[in-house]
Amino acid sequence: MATGNVKVKTGTRPPWVGLAAAVWVQMAAGNAYTFPLYSPALKSVLGYDQRQLAMLGVANDIGENFGVVAGVLCNSLPPWLVLLVGAAFCFVGFGTLWLAVSGTVIGMPYWLLWIALAIGTNSNAWFVTAVLVTNMRNFPLRRGVVAGLLKGYVGLSAALFTQIFSGVLHRSPTALLFLLAVGLPVVCLSTMYYVRPCTPALGAGGDEEDAMQDGHFAFAQAASVLLGTYLVGTTVLGSAVELSDATSYALFGVTVLLLLAPLAIPVKMTLFRKKKRPAMEPPAAASSAEPPASAEEEPLLIPSDAPPPPADDDSEKLDVLLAEGEGAVVKRKRRPRRGEDFEFAEALVKADFWLLWVGYFIGVGTGVTVLNNLAQIGAAAGIADTTVLLSLFGLGNFLGRLGGGAISEKFVRSTLLAPRPIWMSLTQTVLAVVYLCLAYALAPGVVHASAAVIGVCYGAQFAVMIPTTSELFGLKNFGLFYNLMSVANPLAAVLFSEELMGRLYDGEAARQRRHGGGGHPHACLGAECFRVAFVVLAGCCALGTAVSLVLAARIRPVYRALYAGGSFRLPNSSQQH
């Protein structure tokens, strides 16, 4: 899609070049996952307690997920400009944190660090909006796969940053913050030219074209799985044995090569060009529907084979127009139906919107609470090296996002026509069980396994929510609706992480100090530190399961209309609610 005066690239290769560039942007967009790596430095160097640290975690989540402004502007600004804003936020926010932690500026007030962290992680909202909206529109018939793949790389970035932190940066929080402030903007500035709207061939090649596209996506998914496995393997290796600097740099070099793997798709398409078929006259039904003249009308979203309205509808519209001319009738715009393009106010009054928001709020909110407190959970269980927990969470997060997108895509196209929220309910049921296990069996082995499982279920929430939002409310204002859904993340962090887990942790730490506990004045050890919090999170996930099931039952007809016959078809004006 083109916005304003943005030039739209045509052909089959440019979308894949943009997807390969988006991989690097998405890895940079995972900088919010680095909070557990430098949060101990904030606590020790600046002398914060757990509640103050939890509130910084809230700033981390608010910044990452407050993308409403980016969502509104993505329809009027070119993607490169959206990325440029994100790069500036990243430099200013993380640069301020680096000044405080490195001691370059002493006595920086807490409120200023809170704002700086929110600004730094808000770069993620601009990064993700630019690449996700652009690629969803460049591949409108593979929404679930694209969403799962791109959001999967964001989840995988936690393992990438852990590898860099443990190996290349020698576990230095100040070096990590400097990398976030300077290195990530450089990466985004280097790739932003290639993230651009394209007009791919939508089914022009028939089954052969579809099979080739499926093969390309399968390759990209396999490359991402290989990268995720490699990152976790190197992290575990680095925690088990002491690696030399040369070995650490060599391992990181392989990581860079694996990140370049998606570029093999456009390179292959360049070297082995597909022979063009002779031009054929389009069918009469298709040629009768002219594409819109303005790019603002979302040409990728309007079906070329939409049937003309019945004759009686034409005569009825003519009568209404004549009556309007005489002042007898006030023109009323028909409200959109599910699957069509909604405006902001039209979506907010739909029960489906709020059911999806509440289900996502619970699923992603409980997961981010564990993420923000992962280092403290590991320490309470007696785990010395908590960086492995972040790596396991990152791998699970990646697999959940990648698998959630691909599996939900497969089932909505199957004869079952299973609505995507079914998978939200399933993963939240698993979360409830895992939280109960952590509440009553906080042992190192349980924590390691739970970190990976929670990561999978947490990642699946993103991969399911994104295509579901586009299927219910259209792609025209998808950037705005996606970011409205994302607001659930920081709100849940305030409720679950700061008010629930932070308060209970500090209360138990104070109780242990009164009874003669030693160590750090704000440290807490044992299962009692998080027991009540995990029981509450389990109850919330039980509620989230019920909400997601209600939503799935309500929108089953939408999937029947969109995916009947095993293939996606864009809705037309005759489709019923």
pLDDT of residue 127: 94
Report the range of poorest mean pLDDT among 50-64, 81-95, 271-285, 454-468.
271-285
Q: Which residues contact 571 (CB under 8 A, 6 or more apart)?
A: 303, 337, 339, 340, 561, 562
* pLDDT tens per residue across span 530-576: 889 999 999 999 999 999 999 999 988 887 877 765 445 544 433 33
Q: Which residues contact 418 (CB under 8 A, 6 or more apart)?
A: 408, 411, 412, 552, 559
- Rounded to an integer, the average pLDDT of 320-325 is 45
pLDDT of residue 118: 93
Is 90 exceeded by the pLDDT of residue 488?
no
pLDDT of residue 1: 41
- Rounded to an integer, the average pLDDT of 32-59 is 83
As a whole-number percent, the residues of the chain with pLDDT over 90 amount to 27
Q: How confident is the model at residue 312 (pLDDT cuts 50, 70, 90)?
A: very low
As a whole-number percent, the residues of the chain with pLDDT over 70 amount to 81
pLDDT of residue 301: 39
pLDDT of residue 296: 39
Exposure b/e, 54-76, CB count within 10 A at least 16 = b: bbbbbbbbbbbbbbbebbbbbbe
The answer to whether 476 and 301 are in contact (CB under 8 A) is yes
**Nearest Cα to Cα of residue 365 among 541, 456, 492, 483:** 492
Task: Give the Cα separation of 82 and 87 in Å (integer).
Answer: 9
pLDDT of residue 391: 76
Structure tokens at 358: 């509440």
pLDDT of residue 33: 81
pLDDT of residue 113: 92
For residue 475, give the DSSP letter.
S
Is 70 exceeded by the pLDDT of residue 55?
yes
* pLDDT tens per residue across span 68-122: 888 888 888 999 999 999 999 999 999 999 999 988 888 889 999 999 999 999 9
Give Cα separations from 216 to 106, 145, 300, 412 (angstroms). Answer: 52, 11, 21, 20
pTM (2 decimals)?
Answer: 0.70
Task: Give the Cα separation of 79 and 127 in Å (integer).
Answer: 9
Number of CB atoms found within 10 A of residue 445's CB: 10
Report the range of poorest mean pLDDT among 87-96, 344-353, 520-529.
520-529
Is 50 exceeded by the pLDDT of residue 306?
no
Q: How confident is the model at residue 298 (pLDDT cuts 50, 70, 90)?
A: very low
Is 80 exceeded by the pLDDT of residue 338?
no
Mean predicted lDDT score pLDDT of the chain: 80
pLDDT of residue 294: 40
Q: How confident is the model at residue 288 (pLDDT cuts 50, 70, 90)?
A: very low
pLDDT of residue 332: 52
Is 50 exceeded by the pLDDT of residue 157?
yes
In terms of residues, how long is the chain? Answer: 577
Please indicate whether residue 181 or residue 383 has the higher confidence score (pLDDT): 181
Bridge partner residues of 9 (DSSP): 198
- Rounded to an integer, the average pLDDT of 223-250 is 85
Structure tokens at 488: 């659930």
pLDDT of residue 505: 84
